[in-house]
Amino acid sequence: MTTRLTVATGAPYDVVIGHGVLSELRGLVGTDARRVAVVHSPTLQDRAEALRSELTELDVHLLEVPDGEAAKNADVLTSCWRTLGEAGFTRSDVVIGLGGGATTDLAGFVAASWLRGVRFVNLPTTVLGMVDAAVGGKTGINTEAGKNLVGAFHEPAGVLCELDVLATLPPEEVRSGLAEVAKCGFIADPTILELIEAAPEAVADTASPLVAELITKGIAVKAAVVAGDLKETGPGGSVGREALNYGHTLGHALERVNSFGIRHGEAISVGMVFVAELAHRSGRIDADLLERHRSVLRSLGLPTTDETPFDTLLEAMRLDKKTRGTQLRFVVLDDLARPAVLAGPDDDLLREAHAALRP
Protein backbone atom coordinates (compact mmCIF):
# COMPACT_ATOMS: atom_id res chain seq x y z
CA MET A 1 0.00 0.00 0.00
CA THR A 2 0.96 3.62 -0.52
CA THR A 3 0.02 6.31 1.96
CA ARG A 4 -0.09 9.99 1.08
CA LEU A 5 0.03 12.63 3.81
CA THR A 6 -0.28 16.35 3.09
CA VAL A 7 1.81 18.84 5.03
CA ALA A 8 -0.68 21.72 5.00
CA THR A 9 1.64 24.70 5.37
CA GLY A 10 1.51 27.87 3.28
CA ALA A 11 3.14 25.90 0.46
CA PRO A 12 1.51 22.46 0.88
CA TYR A 13 3.31 19.32 -0.24
CA ASP A 14 2.81 15.58 0.03
CA VAL A 15 4.78 12.93 1.83
CA VAL A 16 4.31 9.61 0.03
CA ILE A 17 5.12 6.44 1.98
CA GLY A 18 5.24 2.96 0.51
CA HIS A 19 6.87 0.68 -2.04
CA GLY A 20 7.65 1.91 -5.55
CA VAL A 21 6.99 5.56 -4.69
CA LEU A 22 10.07 6.83 -6.54
CA SER A 23 7.97 6.62 -9.70
CA GLU A 24 6.59 10.01 -8.61
CA LEU A 25 9.99 11.73 -8.69
CA ARG A 26 9.75 13.03 -12.25
CA GLY A 27 6.51 14.83 -11.48
CA LEU A 28 8.06 16.50 -8.43
CA VAL A 29 11.08 17.67 -10.40
CA GLY A 30 8.69 19.53 -12.69
CA THR A 31 8.70 20.45 -16.35
CA ASP A 32 10.80 23.62 -16.15
CA ALA A 33 13.96 22.05 -14.75
CA ARG A 34 16.97 21.51 -16.98
CA ARG A 35 19.50 20.59 -14.30
CA VAL A 36 19.25 18.42 -11.18
CA ALA A 37 21.75 18.03 -8.35
CA VAL A 38 21.51 14.80 -6.33
CA VAL A 39 23.17 15.26 -2.95
CA HIS A 40 24.01 11.80 -1.58
CA SER A 41 26.32 9.91 0.76
CA PRO A 42 29.04 7.54 -0.55
CA THR A 43 27.02 4.43 0.34
CA LEU A 44 24.21 5.54 -1.97
CA GLN A 45 26.25 5.94 -5.15
CA ASP A 46 24.35 3.15 -6.94
CA ARG A 47 20.98 4.64 -6.01
CA ALA A 48 22.12 8.06 -7.16
CA GLU A 49 23.23 6.59 -10.48
CA ALA A 50 19.82 4.93 -10.80
CA LEU A 51 18.15 8.31 -10.35
CA ARG A 52 20.33 9.74 -13.10
CA SER A 53 19.21 6.90 -15.37
CA GLU A 54 15.57 7.75 -14.59
CA LEU A 55 16.08 11.44 -15.44
CA THR A 56 17.84 10.93 -18.75
CA GLU A 57 16.43 14.06 -20.37
CA LEU A 58 17.98 16.26 -17.68
CA ASP A 59 21.53 17.31 -16.87
CA VAL A 60 22.02 15.39 -13.61
CA HIS A 61 24.95 16.13 -11.29
CA LEU A 62 25.80 13.72 -8.47
CA LEU A 63 27.17 15.51 -5.40
CA GLU A 64 28.74 12.94 -3.08
CA VAL A 65 29.05 14.19 0.49
CA PRO A 66 30.44 12.54 3.64
CA ASP A 67 28.36 10.16 5.74
CA GLY A 68 26.33 11.45 8.66
CA GLU A 69 26.97 14.71 10.49
CA ALA A 70 30.34 15.10 8.75
CA ALA A 71 28.35 16.35 5.75
CA LYS A 72 26.85 19.25 7.66
CA ASN A 73 29.64 21.81 7.65
CA ALA A 74 30.60 24.94 5.76
CA ASP A 75 33.31 23.26 3.69
CA VAL A 76 30.92 20.68 2.26
CA LEU A 77 28.28 23.37 1.70
CA THR A 78 30.77 25.52 -0.20
CA SER A 79 31.74 22.54 -2.35
CA CYS A 80 28.08 22.01 -3.28
CA TRP A 81 27.68 25.68 -4.16
CA ARG A 82 30.77 25.44 -6.36
CA THR A 83 29.27 22.53 -8.31
CA LEU A 84 25.97 24.36 -8.82
CA GLY A 85 27.79 27.48 -9.96
CA GLU A 86 29.99 25.64 -12.43
CA ALA A 87 26.96 23.81 -13.83
CA GLY A 88 24.99 27.04 -14.21
CA PHE A 89 22.06 26.15 -11.94
CA THR A 90 19.16 28.57 -12.32
CA ARG A 91 15.98 29.25 -10.34
CA SER A 92 14.09 26.62 -12.31
CA ASP A 93 16.54 23.83 -11.48
CA VAL A 94 16.23 21.30 -8.66
CA VAL A 95 18.19 19.86 -5.73
CA ILE A 96 17.42 16.34 -4.52
CA GLY A 97 18.42 15.07 -1.09
CA LEU A 98 19.06 11.31 -1.15
CA GLY A 99 20.05 9.81 2.19
CA GLY A 100 19.60 10.06 5.92
CA GLY A 101 18.70 13.08 7.99
CA ALA A 102 22.11 14.75 7.79
CA THR A 103 22.12 14.50 3.98
CA THR A 104 18.62 15.93 3.58
CA ASP A 105 19.43 18.72 6.08
CA LEU A 106 22.42 19.70 3.96
CA ALA A 107 20.62 19.31 0.62
CA GLY A 108 17.77 21.47 1.86
CA PHE A 109 20.16 24.21 2.92
CA VAL A 110 21.97 24.03 -0.42
CA ALA A 111 18.59 24.58 -2.08
CA ALA A 112 17.54 27.29 0.39
CA SER A 113 20.71 29.31 -0.04
CA TRP A 114 21.29 28.95 -3.80
CA LEU A 115 19.76 31.95 -5.60
CA ARG A 116 17.86 32.59 -2.34
CA GLY A 117 15.88 29.41 -2.76
CA VAL A 118 15.38 26.79 -5.46
CA ARG A 119 13.09 23.78 -5.63
CA PHE A 120 14.14 20.64 -3.80
CA VAL A 121 12.84 17.13 -3.20
CA ASN A 122 13.67 14.80 -0.33
CA LEU A 123 14.23 11.07 -0.76
CA PRO A 124 15.00 9.88 2.79
CA THR A 125 16.60 6.44 3.08
CA THR A 126 16.52 5.91 6.86
CA VAL A 127 13.75 5.69 9.44
CA LEU A 128 15.14 8.81 11.10
CA GLY A 129 15.20 10.71 7.82
CA MET A 130 11.62 9.73 7.01
CA VAL A 131 9.99 10.60 10.33
CA ASP A 132 12.08 13.62 11.21
CA ALA A 133 14.58 15.45 9.01
CA ALA A 134 12.93 15.16 5.59
CA VAL A 135 9.61 16.67 6.68
CA GLY A 136 9.04 20.17 7.98
CA GLY A 137 11.37 22.43 6.03
CA LYS A 138 14.15 22.81 8.61
CA THR A 139 17.49 22.82 6.82
CA GLY A 140 20.97 23.61 8.02
CA ILE A 141 24.52 22.76 8.98
CA ASN A 142 26.53 22.51 12.18
CA THR A 143 29.31 24.78 13.42
CA GLU A 144 31.99 24.34 16.05
CA ALA A 145 29.64 26.11 18.48
CA GLY A 146 26.82 23.59 18.13
CA LYS A 147 24.38 21.59 16.03
CA ASN A 148 22.04 23.14 13.45
CA LEU A 149 22.99 26.70 14.42
CA VAL A 150 23.14 27.86 10.79
CA GLY A 151 20.17 27.14 8.56
CA ALA A 152 16.90 28.23 7.01
CA PHE A 153 13.27 27.19 6.76
CA HIS A 154 12.81 25.94 3.19
CA GLU A 155 10.05 23.48 2.42
CA PRO A 156 10.47 20.68 -0.10
CA ALA A 157 8.27 20.25 -3.14
CA GLY A 158 7.61 16.73 -1.92
CA VAL A 159 9.00 13.82 0.09
CA LEU A 160 9.12 10.23 -1.17
CA CYS A 161 9.65 7.59 1.52
CA GLU A 162 10.60 4.39 -0.30
CA LEU A 163 10.21 1.64 2.30
CA ASP A 164 12.20 -0.91 0.27
CA VAL A 165 15.44 0.86 1.18
CA LEU A 166 14.99 0.13 4.89
CA ALA A 167 15.98 -3.51 4.31
CA THR A 168 19.56 -2.36 3.71
CA LEU A 169 19.89 -0.58 7.07
CA PRO A 170 21.82 -2.04 10.01
CA PRO A 171 19.61 -2.78 13.03
CA GLU A 172 21.16 0.00 15.12
CA GLU A 173 20.22 2.55 12.46
CA VAL A 174 16.61 1.36 12.50
CA ARG A 175 16.51 1.58 16.29
CA SER A 176 17.92 5.10 16.14
CA GLY A 177 15.09 6.21 13.88
CA LEU A 178 12.47 4.58 16.05
CA ALA A 179 13.50 6.86 18.91
CA GLU A 180 11.94 9.76 16.99
CA VAL A 181 8.83 7.66 16.39
CA ALA A 182 8.54 6.96 20.11
CA LYS A 183 8.98 10.68 20.75
CA CYS A 184 5.90 11.34 18.63
CA GLY A 185 4.04 8.85 20.79
CA PHE A 186 4.94 10.64 24.00
CA ILE A 187 4.17 14.16 22.77
CA ALA A 188 1.11 13.58 20.59
CA ASP A 189 -0.09 10.08 19.64
CA PRO A 190 -0.09 7.46 22.42
CA THR A 191 -1.26 4.75 19.99
CA ILE A 192 2.35 4.69 18.77
CA LEU A 193 3.47 3.59 22.24
CA GLU A 194 0.69 1.01 22.43
CA LEU A 195 1.77 -0.53 19.12
CA ILE A 196 5.37 -0.78 20.29
CA GLU A 197 4.38 -2.24 23.65
CA ALA A 198 2.12 -4.82 22.03
CA ALA A 199 4.83 -6.23 19.74
CA PRO A 200 8.30 -4.83 20.48
CA GLU A 201 10.01 -7.75 18.68
CA ALA A 202 8.21 -6.91 15.41
CA VAL A 203 9.94 -3.55 15.05
CA ALA A 204 13.16 -5.36 14.16
CA ASP A 205 11.59 -6.44 10.86
CA THR A 206 11.67 -3.44 8.54
CA ALA A 207 9.42 -5.25 6.07
CA SER A 208 6.66 -5.69 8.64
CA PRO A 209 3.38 -3.77 8.37
CA LEU A 210 4.01 -2.55 11.93
CA VAL A 211 7.15 -0.64 10.97
CA ALA A 212 5.33 0.96 8.03
CA GLU A 213 2.47 1.93 10.35
CA LEU A 214 4.82 3.39 12.96
CA ILE A 215 6.66 5.45 10.34
CA THR A 216 3.38 6.71 8.90
CA LYS A 217 2.06 7.69 12.33
CA GLY A 218 5.30 9.47 13.19
CA ILE A 219 5.19 11.46 9.96
CA ALA A 220 1.53 12.29 10.56
CA VAL A 221 2.41 13.80 13.95
CA LYS A 222 5.17 15.92 12.49
CA ALA A 223 3.03 17.02 9.54
CA ALA A 224 0.27 18.20 11.87
CA VAL A 225 2.67 20.05 14.17
CA VAL A 226 4.56 21.91 11.45
CA ALA A 227 1.33 22.80 9.65
CA GLY A 228 0.31 24.72 12.75
CA ASP A 229 3.68 26.29 13.52
CA LEU A 230 6.17 26.07 10.65
CA LYS A 231 8.78 28.45 12.06
CA GLU A 232 8.57 27.47 15.73
CA THR A 233 6.99 30.72 16.89
CA GLY A 234 4.59 29.12 19.39
CA PRO A 235 1.39 30.84 18.18
CA GLY A 236 -0.98 31.95 20.90
CA GLY A 237 1.47 31.00 23.60
CA SER A 238 1.27 27.30 22.68
CA VAL A 239 4.26 24.97 22.63
CA GLY A 240 3.80 24.58 18.88
CA ARG A 241 6.66 23.13 16.88
CA GLU A 242 8.99 23.31 19.85
CA ALA A 243 7.27 20.13 21.08
CA LEU A 244 9.23 18.22 18.44
CA ASN A 245 12.38 19.05 20.41
CA TYR A 246 11.34 16.67 23.19
CA GLY A 247 14.54 15.11 24.48
CA HIS A 248 16.69 17.14 22.10
CA THR A 249 18.35 19.66 24.42
CA LEU A 250 20.28 17.02 26.32
CA GLY A 251 20.38 14.79 23.21
CA HIS A 252 22.14 17.40 21.09
CA ALA A 253 24.57 18.06 23.95
CA LEU A 254 25.41 14.36 24.08
CA GLU A 255 26.03 14.33 20.33
CA ARG A 256 28.32 17.32 20.58
CA VAL A 257 30.43 16.14 23.52
CA ASN A 258 30.82 12.77 21.79
CA SER A 259 31.91 14.48 18.54
CA PHE A 260 28.81 12.96 16.89
CA GLY A 261 30.11 9.48 17.59
CA ILE A 262 26.73 8.60 19.08
CA ARG A 263 23.70 8.07 16.85
CA HIS A 264 21.07 10.79 16.95
CA GLY A 265 18.27 8.50 18.11
CA GLU A 266 20.42 7.03 20.85
CA ALA A 267 21.17 10.52 22.17
CA ILE A 268 17.51 11.55 21.95
CA SER A 269 16.46 8.40 23.79
CA VAL A 270 18.64 9.37 26.75
CA GLY A 271 17.39 12.95 26.40
CA MET A 272 13.76 11.84 26.69
CA VAL A 273 14.41 9.94 29.89
CA PHE A 274 16.21 13.02 31.22
CA VAL A 275 13.26 15.36 30.59
CA ALA A 276 10.87 12.73 31.97
CA GLU A 277 12.96 12.82 35.15
CA LEU A 278 12.76 16.63 35.11
CA ALA A 279 8.99 16.51 34.71
CA HIS A 280 8.57 13.94 37.46
CA ARG A 281 10.80 15.85 39.88
CA SER A 282 8.84 19.03 39.07
CA GLY A 283 5.54 17.34 39.94
CA ARG A 284 4.30 17.32 36.35
CA ILE A 285 4.13 13.56 35.62
CA ASP A 286 3.76 10.51 37.82
CA ALA A 287 6.22 7.67 38.35
CA ASP A 288 4.31 5.39 35.96
CA LEU A 289 4.78 7.69 32.99
CA LEU A 290 8.43 8.16 33.89
CA GLU A 291 8.93 4.40 33.94
CA ARG A 292 7.01 4.05 30.68
CA HIS A 293 9.71 6.13 28.99
CA ARG A 294 12.36 3.68 30.15
CA SER A 295 10.37 0.55 29.29
CA VAL A 296 9.33 1.64 25.78
CA LEU A 297 12.81 2.85 24.84
CA ARG A 298 14.54 -0.22 26.28
CA SER A 299 12.13 -2.47 24.35
CA LEU A 300 13.41 -0.79 21.17
CA GLY A 301 16.99 -1.53 22.17
CA LEU A 302 17.76 2.12 22.91
CA PRO A 303 19.91 3.48 25.75
CA THR A 304 18.32 5.09 28.79
CA THR A 305 21.41 5.73 30.92
CA ASP A 306 24.36 8.10 30.76
CA GLU A 307 27.66 8.58 32.58
CA THR A 308 28.84 11.82 30.96
CA PRO A 309 30.04 14.39 33.52
CA PHE A 310 27.08 16.69 34.15
CA ASP A 311 29.07 19.94 33.98
CA THR A 312 30.31 18.98 30.49
CA LEU A 313 26.72 18.48 29.34
CA LEU A 314 25.51 21.68 31.00
CA GLU A 315 28.08 23.73 29.10
CA ALA A 316 27.00 22.11 25.83
CA MET A 317 23.29 22.59 26.60
CA ARG A 318 23.83 26.32 27.07
CA LEU A 319 24.72 26.47 23.38
CA ASP A 320 21.42 24.89 22.36
CA LYS A 321 19.49 26.97 19.82
CA LYS A 322 16.37 26.90 22.02
CA THR A 323 18.17 28.81 24.78
CA ARG A 324 16.81 32.33 25.28
CA GLY A 325 19.47 34.68 26.65
CA THR A 326 21.00 32.69 29.51
CA GLN A 327 17.83 30.70 30.15
CA LEU A 328 17.73 27.03 29.24
CA ARG A 329 14.41 25.71 27.90
CA PHE A 330 13.30 22.09 28.01
CA VAL A 331 10.25 20.54 26.42
CA VAL A 332 8.63 18.38 29.10
CA LEU A 333 5.25 16.68 29.59
CA ASP A 334 2.42 17.75 31.85
CA ASP A 335 0.90 14.38 31.03
CA LEU A 336 1.01 11.92 28.15
CA ALA A 337 0.56 13.84 24.86
CA ARG A 338 0.55 17.17 26.75
CA PRO A 339 3.88 18.86 25.97
CA ALA A 340 4.91 22.03 27.77
CA VAL A 341 8.04 24.15 28.20
CA LEU A 342 10.09 24.21 31.39
CA ALA A 343 12.12 27.43 31.23
CA GLY A 344 15.07 28.25 33.44
CA PRO A 345 15.07 25.26 35.78
CA ASP A 346 17.50 25.36 38.67
CA ASP A 347 20.87 23.78 37.98
CA ASP A 348 20.45 21.56 41.04
CA LEU A 349 17.25 20.10 39.56
CA LEU A 350 19.06 19.42 36.28
CA ARG A 351 21.91 17.78 38.14
CA GLU A 352 19.53 15.54 40.10
CA ALA A 353 17.69 14.48 36.95
CA HIS A 354 20.94 13.60 35.23
CA ALA A 355 22.21 11.71 38.27
CA ALA A 356 19.11 9.48 37.96
CA LEU A 357 20.38 8.40 34.51
CA ARG A 358 23.48 6.70 35.87
CA PRO A 359 23.43 2.93 35.41
CA angle 107, 111, 114 (to 5 degrees): 130
Parallel, antiparallel or unpaired: strands 338-343 and 329-335: antiparallel
Residue numbers in the known binding site for NAD(+) are 67-72, 101-105, 125-126, 138, 147
Please state, as a whole number, how many other Cβ atoms lie within 10 Å of the Cβ of residue 156. 29
* Pick from 139, 135, 142: nearest CA to 154: 139
Residue numbers in the known binding site are 67-72, 101-105, 125-126, 138, 147, 180, 248, 264
* Pick from 328, 333, 335: nearest CA to 349: 328
Residue numbers in the known binding site for Zn(2+) are 180, 248, 264
User: Which residues are paired to 232 by β-bridges?
Assistant: none
CA angle 16, 19, 25 (to 5 degrees): 50
Element (H, E) at 329: strand 329-335
The DSSP string of 33-90 is --EEEEEE-GGGHHHHHHHHHHTTTSEEEEEE--SGGGGSSHHHHHHHHHHHHHHT--
